[in-house]
Structure 1
Amino acid sequence: MIVCPNCNHQNPDGAVQCEACYTPLPATMSCPNCGTTVQADASFCGQCGNDLRTAASQQSAAIASPSLASDTSSSIPSLLPLDPLVPPDPLVAPPLPLPNSSPPAMTEPVQAAPAELPPPSAISAAEPSSYEVASSTPAVSNAGGYVSTTQLQQQTARLLHLQTSASLELPQSLTVVHIGKPNERIPPDIDVSGFPDSEIVSRIHADIRVEGDAYYIEDVGSSNGTYINNVPLPMGNRHRLRPGDRISLGKGDKVTFLFQLS
């Protein structure tokens, strides 16, 4: 029987917890002297008085010794015999050439040196020159002509005033060109105050915007409107200008410009 340490209830042998209070019961063992069931942590047997501490230490030592021996024997592997060492091959130095011996013959063919180019003076004047390099300035050839060079020219935009035939060049350094008359808000880049009938033109009338090689015009809120080829341009809309387009500032076609590119 196993006595519960909490409520002293006697439980049958082999019970894990108390039947009355469900307290875990201590582990049991048999006395090696009389075979009575006693607790595993007891120091003496309650039946015969045998010293359980000495028996437990002897039993644990007997159990541990063979396992230790087996572990020791199994943990050391048997060593394989080593292969015999093979001596390396001796190093043999190449024979030194004799002092009077001739150098070995070359097996690779010798490439011929490139032929030198004749001086420019030896080139016939009748033949085209292949040594001239294109530059930013034209070069005079031996035949008396000019060597053609490709040069990119920046196009220039102009406004031709039809009433006076005055030509106004658009500033190339600006991306937005303001057209109008002098004012304190946005000074005009193209001032039309000196032209006849300029009173119909607003002080802030129209803008020409430059985007790459394209020119666009838009009305920015003028009083009398902007007309392109006699068609009114709504405020806020843009029109791409092409050479020959007719730009009228105000009604009546009194202040008119012709867009030109050169």
Structure 2
Amino acid sequence: MIVCPNCNHQNPDGATQCEACYTPLPASMSCPNCGTTVQTDASFCGQCGFNLKASGSTGSPDTPAPVSVPDVPDLDPPDPLIEPEPLSMSSQSPIPDPQPDPPPDLPVTQVGQSGTTTEEEEKPAPPEPETEPPPPPVATPKLGSVTQLQVQSVYLLHLQTQTKMELPSHLSVIHIGKPNDQIPPDIDVSGFPNSEIVSRVHADIRVEGDTYYLEDVGSANGTYINHTPLPKGDRHRLRKGDRISLGKGDMVTFLFQVS
């Protein structure tokens, strides 16, 4: 049977074209050793392995072809190994001392046109490095002198009596009014003239950093800033020289001062 190399269809012996796909079939022959059908361009038989390309070979595949072995001449035995002799210190040549390097920056002599040497030129001396001037002396304070830090002072100046009332620096809310059982005042105005128009809980000064704000907290006669009434719940940022009046008629008046 001849198997088609294109579609693997088995065709009868002697067919030249595949019955299924009409592909030309390779030519075949019988193996001279076992008689199996093989292709003519095959090198060995797929059944018995016979060498089909061997010219004039008629023997069986079990009989291998003689292999010619070239004659190898006998080699001379190698000489025995000789142990090396240890080197002695006396046989070694002394190592010469290294030559010192020539000194740098040797003076160079110039040769004139007549062949005679001229005098050596002197090299200019390198410039001296610039030195920084010494720092100015630091004045040391005399014994007994004390450095005083300037502390900002904030106070209210009562215009009717020219009395200064310094604001507490440790409070964030400063209450202004007269003694009472609910909120005791931090700035007590009960000793000033006409204090009867001031409520017991009259106004607050709130401190936020370096900024001071004035707020009316529900007084009966109101709070005025620079002759302008301050609505209840509103805040006014105080500035140096602001005029604060507690009650109507400008009878209890303070100036906001910073020194």
TM-score (norm 2): 0.45
Query: Which one has a larger percent helix, Structure 1 or Structure 2?
Result: 1
Decide which structure has the larger Cα Rg and report it: 2
